[in-house]
Amino acid sequence: MKILNLEAMLEVAGTLQVHNYAGLVAMAELAADAIADAVAGHLGIVAENAAWNASGGLCVRFRPSADGQQCPAEIEAADPQGWWQ
Protein backbone atom coordinates (compact mmCIF):
# COMPACT_ATOMS: atom_id res chain seq x y z
CA MET A 1 0.00 0.00 0.00
CA LYS A 2 1.14 3.54 -0.80
CA ILE A 3 0.00 6.50 1.30
CA LEU A 4 -0.02 10.01 -0.15
CA ASN A 5 -0.71 13.17 1.79
CA LEU A 6 -2.94 15.88 0.32
CA GLU A 7 -0.04 17.80 -1.20
CA ALA A 8 1.32 14.70 -2.93
CA MET A 9 -2.13 13.92 -4.35
CA LEU A 10 -2.46 17.47 -5.69
CA GLU A 11 0.99 17.19 -7.28
CA VAL A 12 0.08 13.89 -8.95
CA ALA A 13 -3.29 15.25 -10.10
CA GLY A 14 -1.57 18.28 -11.61
CA THR A 15 1.04 16.17 -13.35
CA LEU A 16 -1.69 13.93 -14.78
CA GLN A 17 -3.82 16.96 -15.71
CA VAL A 18 -6.88 15.27 -14.22
CA HIS A 19 -10.32 16.61 -15.07
CA ASN A 20 -11.36 19.59 -12.93
CA TYR A 21 -7.89 19.97 -11.40
CA ALA A 22 -8.50 23.66 -10.70
CA GLY A 23 -11.73 22.78 -8.89
CA LEU A 24 -9.93 20.16 -6.81
CA VAL A 25 -7.28 22.70 -5.83
CA ALA A 26 -10.00 25.19 -4.89
CA MET A 27 -11.68 22.58 -2.66
CA ALA A 28 -8.38 21.82 -0.92
CA GLU A 29 -7.78 25.54 -0.38
CA LEU A 30 -11.27 25.94 1.11
CA ALA A 31 -10.64 23.07 3.52
CA ALA A 32 -7.28 24.58 4.51
CA ASP A 33 -8.96 27.97 5.03
CA ALA A 34 -11.53 26.41 7.36
CA ILE A 35 -8.84 24.67 9.42
CA ALA A 36 -6.65 27.78 9.51
CA ASP A 37 -9.57 29.98 10.57
CA ALA A 38 -10.40 27.57 13.41
CA VAL A 39 -6.76 27.50 14.59
CA ALA A 40 -6.37 31.26 14.29
CA GLY A 41 -9.62 31.91 16.13
CA HIS A 42 -8.59 29.60 18.94
CA LEU A 43 -5.18 31.28 19.25
CA GLY A 44 -6.38 34.85 18.75
CA ILE A 45 -4.27 35.43 15.64
CA VAL A 46 -5.01 36.02 11.95
CA ALA A 47 -4.92 33.45 9.15
CA GLU A 48 -4.61 34.66 5.57
CA ASN A 49 -6.09 32.77 2.62
CA ALA A 50 -4.70 29.36 1.79
CA ALA A 51 -2.88 29.02 -1.51
CA TRP A 52 -1.62 26.02 -3.48
CA ASN A 53 1.71 26.30 -5.24
CA ALA A 54 3.17 23.17 -6.77
CA SER A 55 6.67 24.14 -5.62
CA GLY A 56 5.63 25.22 -2.12
CA GLY A 57 2.59 23.11 -1.34
CA LEU A 58 -0.70 24.11 0.26
CA CYS A 59 0.17 26.91 2.66
CA VAL A 60 -1.51 29.40 4.95
CA ARG A 61 0.19 32.46 6.42
CA PHE A 62 -0.51 33.23 10.07
CA ARG A 63 0.21 36.62 11.59
CA PRO A 64 -0.43 38.54 14.82
CA SER A 65 -3.78 40.21 15.31
CA ALA A 66 -2.12 43.14 17.13
CA ASP A 67 1.30 44.79 17.17
CA GLY A 68 3.65 43.15 19.64
CA GLN A 69 1.62 39.95 19.94
CA GLN A 70 3.84 36.97 20.64
CA CYS A 71 3.80 34.00 18.30
CA PRO A 72 1.86 31.10 19.83
CA ALA A 73 4.09 28.14 20.67
CA GLU A 74 2.08 25.83 18.38
CA ILE A 75 2.68 28.05 15.36
CA GLU A 76 6.36 28.57 16.22
CA ALA A 77 6.88 24.80 16.54
CA ALA A 78 5.24 24.21 13.16
CA ASP A 79 7.44 26.79 11.41
CA PRO A 80 10.53 27.61 13.49
CA GLN A 81 12.31 29.34 10.56
CA GLY A 82 9.43 31.65 9.67
CA TRP A 83 9.20 35.25 10.82
CA TRP A 84 6.39 36.68 12.92
CA GLN A 85 5.10 40.20 12.26
The pLDDT value recorded for residue 48 is 97
**Residue 55 in this model has a pLDDT that exceeds 90:** no
Domain boundaries along the sequence of the chain: 6-78
Mean model confidence pLDDT for the chain:
96
47 close to 55: Cβ distance less than 8 angstroms = no
The closest alpha carbon to 10, from 27, 37, 41, 36, belongs to 27
Percent pLDDT > 70 in the chain is: 100
DSSP designation for 54 = T
The pLDDT value recorded for residue 54 is 80
Vertex 7 angle, CA 30 and 24, to 5°: 45
Residues forming beta bridges with residue 57, ordered by sequence position: 53
C-alpha span between 27 and 71 (Å, rounded): 28
